[in-house]
Amino acid sequence: MSAIIDADLPSRGQWSQSWQRLQRRPTAMAALGILAAVAVLSLVEPLCSAFDFSTPNWDALYQPPNAVHLFGTDGLGRDLLVRLMWGCRISLAVGITASLVSVFIGVLWGATAGYVGGTTDSVMMRSVDILYTVPFIPLVIVLTVLFGRNFLLVFIAIGAVSWLDIARIVRGQTLSIKNREFIEAARVLGLSTATMLWRHIIPNLLGVVIIYATLTVPTVVLFEAFLSFLGLGVHAPLASLGSLVSDGASHLKAHPYLLTIPALFLTLIIVCLSFLGDGLRDALDPREPR
Amino acid sequence: MLKFLLRRLLIAIPTLLLIATLAFGLLHATPGGPFDTAKRMPAAIQRSIEAKYHLNEPLWRQYLRYLGDLLHGDLGPSFQYRNTSVNELIKIGFPVDLEIGGVALGLAVLVGGALGLMAALRRNSLWDTVAMFLAALGVSVPVFVVAPLLILVFAVELNWLPSGDWRFGELRYLVLPVIALGLPYVAYIARMTRGAALEVLGSSFIRTARAKGLPERAVIFRHALRPVLTPLVSFLGPAFAGVLTGSIIVESVFGLPGIGRYFITGALNRDYTLVVGITVLYGGLIIAFNLLADLCYVWIDPRVRLDS
């Protein structure tokens, strides 16, 4: 019980301060607003739309944007708006899930290495060094081929290879708070290593973790789009932003809107996510120079 | 120095082994084989093909055989391109990647460095704000969005440049792939240079140089440039490896005959040796470039010690 109060009380003021600092950054707030709008739209629009993402309509092939089909239709007469919203759903879902996976592994790995120290630390961090040199793109392509039938596993795989940065940063932070008085006090109470990590170390890392989690989301979204662009990601008829860009790229001569609209949305999402991450870095870690 | 080199090379061996093992294991775990066809082959032919490529042996024997060949620098025969070895495919494809990647990164350093330096010299001006906003955009816009858009504008609408294909030494075919590949690096280097330049320009030795009446040009080029460029060096090692692996997308959009394209088709067709070979090559390049960057760093900045 005492541990909860210990971790919560001083940090509440800190959170509201950070929130105020974030609100003072117009780019970050705009990015947050746009992202929220895209997220809500992508959840609601497919429910309200008269069209569905997979049924072809042979009477409405390649219609440019018009009143019925706001963003036009593709080569099978499917409404681009609905497919785009499904794409946003998938991109955001993949981004968040895979980032959670990578944050989970990274935080546990880094905090354990930093807190336990000694040989454990050097073995764990040496293996991170080694994993850093594993060529990332080829490895994920191989993983996608291996897990090809199961899309869920694909993005767990993406998350599982992108935790290295977080592990390094978390370890550094852990080293710096490890010798503070409240940790000493908790150790005197005779808590086990697991409880120490979970109750006292990790809650104090949350600021850093949130920053890097937000910065991981755009890289993961990009990665999923990259895989779908190569035809290794989502399976037809489902669409992701990457596969829509890829479809559009093959029709760009005659129907450029099929490329430009998904490309615009993908860029918008990624730019907003990275602006939000930069803003959070300033808000949560005022000492960090920009 | 020697100790440092030795240690890095010693770490490189288990790293490459891990990469080869991971790629080998993952690929062999995927369902389907390299010689599965829609129509069933006669059993005798199937057997003789498998015997030729040692696919009938137990997996551990294949693995050991592969590692043995790897130690001799032999990446084995490609399954997909019959009668061609992986070494030969790399020899054909790699120069393309090298040319595009080298030109893209070289231009990125020049353009990005110049942009970043100018932004830092006119800090908080309109120029600075616009340049940094564009850089933030450029870092996040993916290559596979930029590449088709470039084709749309410069090949389809304006008809200035070819939309794909490749001929060695012909500049026209190089322009669009290089821009697509280099753009994110221009943006990243511009941001890095600006940050480093702001720090250096605020330091006391620059104030001294200005105080003794040096012209601004000499202050910047003789005194400031070197410390500004040093952090770039440690970035360039991994960046070069990144450019080489990142060219997979550029190759598939522009239809270039580099190794990235072989890699994708190889992974889809279970061309075990080709995929493992290229992965090991990439891993080796990453290790080599990181090491090279660290060595260059010491050479440029003598205050840095490697042994610690």
Encode pLDDT of A27-60 as tens digits: 888 889 999 998 888 888 777 777 777 777 777 6
Q: According to the model, what pLDDT value does residue A1 have?
A: 42
DSSP, res A67 = S
Helix B171-201 with B86-121: angle, nearest 10 deg:
40
Subunit contact B245:A275, Cβ cutoff 8 A:
no
CB B272 within 8 A of CB B24: yes
CB B101 within 8 A of CB B174: no
For the four alpha carbons of B275, B277, B281 and B286, in that order, the dihedral sign comes to positive
- Long-range contacts (CB closer than 8 Å, 24 or more residues apart) made by A38-45: A38/A88, A38/A92, A38/A265, A38/A268, A38/A269, A38/A272, A39/A88, A39/A92, A41/A85, A41/A88, A42/A85, A42/A86, A42/A88, A42/A89, A42/A92, A43/A89, A45/A81, A45/A82, A45/A85
Rounded CA separation B66/B22 (Å): 13
Subunit contact A138:B139, Cβ cutoff 8 A:
no
Subunit contact B264:A230, Cβ cutoff 8 A:
yes
Encode pLDDT of A56-93 as tens digits: 777 767 777 777 777 777 777 777 788 888 888 888 88
Residue of B nearest to A229 (CA): B144
User: Would you state the structure tokens that stand for residue A64, as one six-digit string?
Assistant: 């440019």
| Span A95-110, average pLDDT | 89
CB B246 within 8 A of CB B143: yes
Rounded CA separation B180/B143 (Å): 6
Collapsed DSSP state (helix, strand, coil) of residue B150 = helix
**Chain A residues closer than 8 Å to B141 by CB:** 267, 270-271
Mean pLDDT of chain A: 79
Rounded CA separation A171/A115 (Å): 8
Rounded CA separation B308/B302 (Å): 14
**Chain A residues closer than 8 Å to B192 by CB:** none
Q: Quick check: B231 contacting A, CB < 8 Å?
A: no
**Chain A residues closer than 8 Å to B282 by CB:** 135, 138
Residue of A nearest to B266 (CA): A142
What is each CA distance from B203 to A213, B103, B200, in whole angstroms? 34, 34, 5
Rounded CA separation B66/B232 (Å): 38
Strands (E) located in A106-206: none
Q: Quick check: B18 contacting A, CB < 8 Å?
A: yes
Q: Per-domain residue ranges for chain B?
A: 92-269
Subunit contact A137:B275, Cβ cutoff 8 A:
no
**Chain A residues closer than 8 Å to B151 by CB:** 249, 252
Cβ contacts of B238 within 8 Å, gap of 6 or more: B286, B289, B290, B293
Alpha-helix residue ranges (DSSP H) falling in B171-224: 171-201, 204-211, 216-218
Rounded CA separation A36/A90 (Å): 15
Subunit contact A145:B267, Cβ cutoff 8 A:
yes
Collapsed DSSP state (helix, strand, coil) of residue A73 = strand
CB A116 within 8 A of CB A201: no
Subunit contact A271:B267, Cβ cutoff 8 A:
no
Rounded CA separation A110/A175 (Å): 10
Subunit contact B282:A230, Cβ cutoff 8 A:
no
Give mean pLDDT in consecutive 10-residue pieces for chain B, a chain of 308 residues.
Answer: 81 84 82 69 77 77 82 79 81 85 90 88 83 82 82 77 70 81 88 85 85 85 82 80 80 82 80 85 85 80 65
Q: According to the model, what pLDDT value does residue B307 have?
A: 56
User: What b/e string do you get for A103-125 counting C-beta neighbours within 10 Å, with b at 16 or more?
Assistant: bebbbbbbbbbbbeeeeebeebb
Q: According to the model, what pLDDT value does residue B39 have?
A: 67
What is each CA distance from A116 to A168, A188, A189, A201, in whole angstroms? 15, 16, 18, 12
Secondary structure (DSSP) of B220-239: IIIIIHHHHHHHHHHHHHHH
What is each CA distance from A220 to A33, A139, B264, in whole angstroms? 21, 15, 20
Residue of A nearest to B152 (CA): A252
Encode pLDDT of B221-232 as tens digits: 888 888 888 878
pTM summary value:
0.77
The top-level CATH class assigned to B92-269 is mainly alpha
pLDDT at A154 over 80: no
DSSP, res B40 = P
Cα A22 to the chain's mean position, in Å?
A: 19
CA distance B285 to chain A (A): 9
Q: Quick check: A139 contacting B, CB < 8 Å?
A: yes
Interface A–B counts its CB contacts (< 8 A) at 119
Q: What is the largest CA-CA distance in chain A?
A: 75
User: At residue B18, what are phi and psi to the nearest 5 degrees?
Assistant: -60, -45
Subunit contact A225:B142, Cβ cutoff 8 A:
yes
User: Would you state the structure tokens that stand for residue A186, as one six-digit string?
Assistant: 């908790």
Q: Quick check: B141 contacting A, CB < 8 Å?
A: yes
Q: Quick check: A145 contacting B, CB < 8 Å?
A: yes
Helix B225-254 with A136-146: angle, nearest 10 deg:
30
CB A159 within 8 A of CB A100: yes
**Chain B residues closer than 8 Å to A263 by CB:** 145, 148-149
Secondary structure (DSSP) of A195-245: HIIIIIIGGGGHHHHHHHHHHHHHHHHHHHHHHHHTT-SSPTTS--HHHHH
Radius of gyration for the alpha carbons in chain B, expressed in angstroms and rounded: 24
pLDDT at A105 over 50: yes
When scoring B26, B132, B145 by the number of chain A Cβ atoms within 10 A, the one with the most, hence best to mutate, is B145
User: Would you state the structure tokens that stand for residue A105, as one six-digit string?
Assistant: 């592994």
CA distance B301 to chain A (A): 23
User: Would you state the structure tokens that stand for residue A22, as one six-digit string?
Assistant: 């974030």
Rounded CA separation A262/A260 (Å): 6
Residue of A nearest to B281 (CA): A135
User: Would you state the structure tokens that stand for residue A288, as one six-digit string?
Assistant: 């960090």
Specify burial of residue A48 (Cβ count, 10 A radius: 0-12, 13-18, 19+): exposed
